[in-house]
Chain A
Amino acid sequence: MTAVQSLSGIVSSLAAHPFLANAVFAGTAVALAAGVTGYFLVLRGQVFTGDALGHVAFTGAAAALAIGLDLRVGLFVATIGAGVLIGLLGSKGRSDDVVIGNVLAWVLGLGVFFLTLYITSLSAGNGTAGVTVLFGSIFGLSQGQAWTAAAVGGGVVIAMLLIARPLLFATVDETVAASLGVPVRMLGVVFLALVGVATAEATQAVGALLLLGLLAAPAGAAQRLTARPYVGLALSGALAVFAMWAGLALSYAVPVLPPSFSIIAVAAAVYAVAFVVTAARRTEAAASPGRARSEGE
């Protein structure tokens, strides 16, 4: 009875506050896309590529604002471009962390430059644009933006499902997949382009700096909970959507909490629970004799 009551309460508050309905609508699609692409990112050991795309998203958005374009144009051009570029450079030019660190720091520095250009060139400009791009503003989405976000997020999920099978094969055993005629390299590029699209959408919801949490946390949790890839993929998407809904509800109930914080906090909490649960299971398994593994380092 209470469940029905609270459900009808949610529905009526959604109807009463269009901004909330927009956020839930767009957020669900964004979270689903992030959960599905994030699962493969974690599986392929490319989490830091997601981080890099977040940085690029900030700079792209700031550059678009500086030259007077729509913020989203810059977001999509920058993240898809960077995704394809990283995919093409790929494993051949496996650059070390020093190179990545230098490039990322400069990309952010450039973003700050564009942002200042934007704020100073438009005297009546939006001084908080930088904060919006970095930390998102899901409650600020208009209905049109929400529809776009939902359409793009849905498109990413469908595309991911279409390539899921060969991509999984290529991820688990690249050489065998390549010898059987799976276009491994092509798949990697397409995948990173899709991650770019998901990143650009997620930037508008939780921001360029925090989207890494939405990519990594549900996927990491799903991967700890199950070793079966398709179950894990579905679980990752479901956990991301749960984090989104719970985060939005939390911020709606406690208005001092910014929604991006709540979403990431819930996602991190989900991961922490998964971590503790599986760790307990593992120590149980290790306690049974013959499995004592003690690596010093």
Chain B
Amino acid sequence: MTNLLQTLTQMLAYPFMVNALEAGTIVAIVSGLIGWFMVLRRQSFAGHALAVVGFPGAAGATLLGVGAAYGYFTFCLAAALVIALLPRAGGSGRTDESAVTGTVQALALACGFLFVSLYHGFLNGIDALLFGSFVGISQGQVTALLVVGACVLVTLALIGRPLLFSSVDPEVAAAGNVPVRALSFVFLLLLGAAVAEASQITGTLLVFALLVAPAAIAQTVTSRPSVGLLLSPIIALIVTWGGLTLAYFWPYPIGFFVTSLAFGGYVAARVAAGLVRRRSKSAW
């Protein structure tokens, strides 16, 4: 026990580890809450698209010499705006929607790859952009994450009730004079900011580990919004802290630990829910 405590204090003696834990905590709380609404509203693929677009943003920002964080925020928010505005402009919702999504996704990743290869000597950094890294987080980055995260959470607190209403039953909400359109617009922007934050810890390709899995676990365990909204960020925190600790002790990338913890938790929750359901069925 003292041994464990010792290793923990040893880990916290490194400033980079403290920064990583602070950043991870902020990101986990934001993604846990926003992710809960995202899963409820069935917008996971929008979240995925935003994350993919973040990659050329981050690579381009690195190429230009500004921090990757700016690239993430600019591109994710811009993409959120585009997605929010698109359905009204388009209108021809046929099966080719998936072909468009696939093409845009591949093009975004290709552009990111182009920027990375234009920036010579950055080929190891590409793994960090795609699969996450926790060693290079500066104090300034933590502050930026905190400010953006606080803005996201304040907005979410303000629109939380009507957003929940309009997510559960958009038609009734619209009939009750809830501005459903405006809410979904604002939510996509919040989602863009949350994705940009999560990308900086888990990397572009693995944001689902923090955005989807904790929320999905929470919604498997409970259908009550108040409990779920509490549970989802807590699970995200456990996943992040666990991932950071494991990545500190073993030489494998944090993305692997975070996704494995999240996926393991999801499978466990589904199995447990299935067992409970079967038992209650046999009790009847």
Q: Does A238 contact B (CB under 8 A)?
A: no
Can you name 11 A-B residue pairings with CB atoms under 8 Å? A102-B213, A103-B263, A104-B208, A106-B260, A112-B252, A209-B113, A212-B102, A213-B103, A216-B102, A220-B99, A256-B118
Given known pairs A213-B103, A267-B103, A268-B103, the reply for A282 and B209 (CB within 8 Å) is no
Query: Would you call A189 an interface residue if the criterion is a C-beta within 8 Å of the partner chain's C-beta atoms?
Result: no
Known: A98-B44, A109-B255, A256-B118. A215 touches B102 (CB 8 A): yes
Closest chain B residue to A113, Cβ basis: B256
Known: A102-B262, A258-B113. A268 touches B98 (CB 8 A): no
Contact of A102 among B102, B103, B130, B266 (CB under 8 A): B266
Once the chains bind, are A209 and B106 in contact (CB under 8 Å)?
Answer: yes
Check B102 against A98 for contact (C-beta < 8 Å): no
B102 and chain A: residue at smallest CB distance: A216
Flag if B100 contacts A220 (CB, 8 Å): yes
**Interface residues of A, Cβ cutoff 8 Å to B:** 42-43, 45, 47-48, 50-51, 96-98, 101-106, 108-110, 112-113, 116-117, 120, 127-128, 130-131, 134-135, 207, 209-217, 219-220, 223-224, 256-258, 260-261, 264-265, 267-268, 271, 275, 279, 282, 294-295, 297
Is A48's CB under 8 angstroms from B110's CB? Answer: no
Does B273 have its Cβ within 8 Å of any Cβ on chain A?
no
Contact of A216 among B106, B111, B126 (CB under 8 A): B106
Summarize B's interface: helix, strand, loop or mixed. Answer: helix
Contact call A102/B114, Cβ cutoff below 8 A: no
Q: How far is the CB of A221 from chain B (nearest CB, A)?
A: 8
B203-231 residues with Cβ-Cβ distance < 8 A to A are: 205-209, 212-213, 216
B102 contacts which of A96, A207, A213 (Cβ < 8 Å)? A213
| CB of B244 to closest CB in A, whole Å | 15
Asked if A101 and B102 make an inter-chain contact with CB atoms under 8 angstroms apart, the answer reads no
> For residue B208, which residue of chain A has the nearest CB?
A105
Chain A residue contacts of B143, Cβ below 8 A: none
Q: Which residues of B contact A127 (CB under 8 A)?
A: 123-124
